[in-house]
Structure 1
């Protein structure tokens, strides 16, 4: 965010400060679970790399799709009626020309401004679920010892980081044991390690209410990267294609959790019709969202990474972005301070 924008919105810098001990630790060498499990969904798994779904708030996907379709209906329907009235006048198929002229003016007044608002502003909202990448993907390549994150260009694009720089954020020294929060497994690449001015974070896998699930899946990925796929359970692979049942699990689990934690029997009874209405509504919206998105290929250098004789992808640096974006990134670097827990002072690691 640009400094001028911060001033205009009266926003300061949100210090996501961590301790020196936290950012110096190599989290890839410590075992934190005796039960490594692939919760997924996984899209690829072999001796060279594994690939898992990234992104967050998949369990809410579908709501914005219905809202977007409703918003789109306004300019599309008014544009249709405007064109229809014009064609009726043009071919002389009416005896009431005045009415159709008024209709053209009325629907034009609705169509043109709403179309402008959709193109100019609403595209920043609907592209979370429509006309964008179907699923963010994260690929862990154990040969090159790199992590690749595939994102839309407007969200930073595809980035490449070292495996050793990854930091689990839901548990351990860098996290807070986020059990019961229905969050995905969060991974962070802190600027102290990467040299990038700001942190890159990504959520992987499914939402869960069980804090142990975060540790089990992280341990599965950690052992795969450090020791290979031997002695690890093989994950069931999911398809990239849209499927009607994809949205069912993500929406039904929070509803089941709400039912289990209903304070009274009558509250439990009231939740039943809510489930019967909202579950199909969310699930269909999720499926529509998948159908109106696409799944792009990885860049060629990432697809071939780890093969004999093929180049190793370059790690992401500030110079990979346009000058305008570089400036905005540099103006946000103050959010990522590191504090020495012994002295209580900020550590100058070239990011201030």
Structure 2
């Protein structure tokens, strides 16, 4: 479920040592100045604004929509996690049953019983350690975490709030004017037929944050016009208000068995429409009868084993007269080691001048070097500054 967000945040906050171990080179995500400097909130891209959703809140102050890039695959990691969790559970249960039988003298061969207890105890301890030490980083992508990523657009404060787990970047606050639709741009190229959600990006050229942050909202779709229609709905809401817009149907935060059906059945319908052959239909029958219930049940279990947290108080009250404005996310909001990693990865996000084709220095590439140069200067002038201080004291 959070694989996309985790990979994006890992690539933005990966440490240099980890980058070397993974043999991951620095990528080139440079964009043209005309693309990043443009204000996308003022230009209409559709004559048919539609709230595709799912939406969780909609009023005069804010609207809230579900985020997440791979919600349609939710349930796969859940089943894998439950299968792995079954190893320590079953080994512990078998060992305990044998111990109770020996205690109640219900088992004749004591030596074989003790050997079995030791064997199952070793499996239990080793599998439990591996789950706690390593596999928890995998299972938390769908279990024992936030039930959904939520994105709130507040038209009073003109801010965008993104609620994510801490290992995916945590809660972030951006200015509305800094948002950039990523599924369609100035060139007119659309991500048709890709079955992805509506992607929005906050580029460092606008935000001042060293790296770009992205968030996906709404449902997966094969229709490129859906991206524009829903973006237009959000844009008009933020710019003009909800007066002349269709009111979206609100979804519940609670787990529901049917939540996972649509995300898995839409690709099947798309395949059937584009390949209306007998072979394709015969292939989809076992998928519909076996895999669809399998994925849907995994989706429901994942929802049940997650929780829906509240927004921080400052975000809940944002836009109410007399209440403070939430602070925009900055580099100082993260721990020192994460700050260093983010600054190291800032060099990936460049801006190219449209006319010269050269990179524009907008303060993102020289931050680490400036800090280092100040340190070198301090060491070099330490002896020279000392006698000056002594003379001034005299």
TM over 0.5: yes
TM-align CA RMSD: 1.3
- Return 5+ residue gaps in structure 1 as ranges: none
The answer to whether the 8 Å contact 1:55/1:136 transfers is yes
- Return 5+ residue gaps in structure 2 as ranges: 1-13, 366-394
- The residue number in structure 1 matching 2:200 is 187
Matched residues, number:
352
C-alpha separation in 2, matches of 1:254 and 1:119: 35
C-alpha separation in 1, matches of 2:130 and 2:347: 34
Question: Are residues 1:324 and 2:312 paired?
Answer: no
Moved more, 76-85 or 163-172: 76-85
Partner SS, residue 50 of structure 1: strand
C-alpha separation in 2, matches of 1:106 and 1:341: 68
- The residue number in structure 2 matching 1:49 is 62
Question: Are residues 1:288 and 2:274 paired?
Answer: no
Q: CA deviation at 1:175?
A: 7.9
- Deviations, residues 102-131 of structure 1 (Å, cap 9, x unaligned): 111211222111111111111111111111
Question: Are residues 1:77 and 2:54 paired?
Answer: no
- Deviations, residues 197-237 of structure 1 (Å, cap 9, x unaligned): 11110000000000000000000000000000010000000
- The residue number in structure 2 matching 1:15 is 28
Q: CA deviation at 1:11?
A: 1.5
- The residue number in structure 2 matching 1:63 is 76
Moved more, 6-15 or 302-311: 6-15
- The residue number in structure 1 matching 2:108 is 95
- Deviations, residues 137-187 of structure 1 (Å, cap 9, x unaligned): 000000000000001112111110000000000002388410110000000
- Deviations, residues 270-325 of structure 1 (Å, cap 9, x unaligned): 22122111111111110011000000000000000000100000000000111111
- The residue number in structure 1 matching 2:377 is none
Question: Are residues 1:277 and 2:277 paired?
Answer: no
- What does residue range 210-289 of structure 1 map to in structure 2 within 5 Å? 210-262=223-275, 264-289=277-302
- The residue number in structure 1 matching 2:385 is none
Question: Are residues 1:161 and 2:174 paired?
Answer: yes
- Deviations, residues 63-112 of structure 1 (Å, cap 9, x unaligned): 11111111110111111112222333344443221121111121122211
C-alpha separation in 2, matches of 1:324 and 1:234: 44
- Give the TM-score taking structure 2 as reference length: 0.87
The answer to whether the 8 Å contact 1:168/1:174 transfers is no
- Give the TM-score taking structure 1 as reference length: 0.97
Partner SS, residue 147 of structure 1: strand
C-alpha separation in 1, matches of 2:260 and 2:25: 38
Question: Are residues 1:39 and 2:55 paired?
Answer: no
When residues 254 and 248 of structure 1 are mapped into structure 2, their CA distance, relative to the original with a 3 A threshold, is same
The answer to whether the 8 Å contact 1:22/1:174 transfers is no
The answer to whether the 8 Å contact 1:167/1:174 transfers is no
Question: Are residues 1:133 and 2:146 paired?
Answer: yes
Q: CA deviation at 1:7?
A: 1.6
Question: Are residues 1:171 and 2:167 paired?
Answer: no
Residue among 364, 369, 391 paired with 1:351: 364
- Deviations, residues 236-287 of structure 1 (Å, cap 9, x unaligned): 0000000011111111101111222236322322221221111111111100
Q: Which has the larger radius of gyration?
A: 2
C-alpha separation in 2, matches of 1:202 and 1:148: 10
- The residue number in structure 1 matching 2:318 is 305
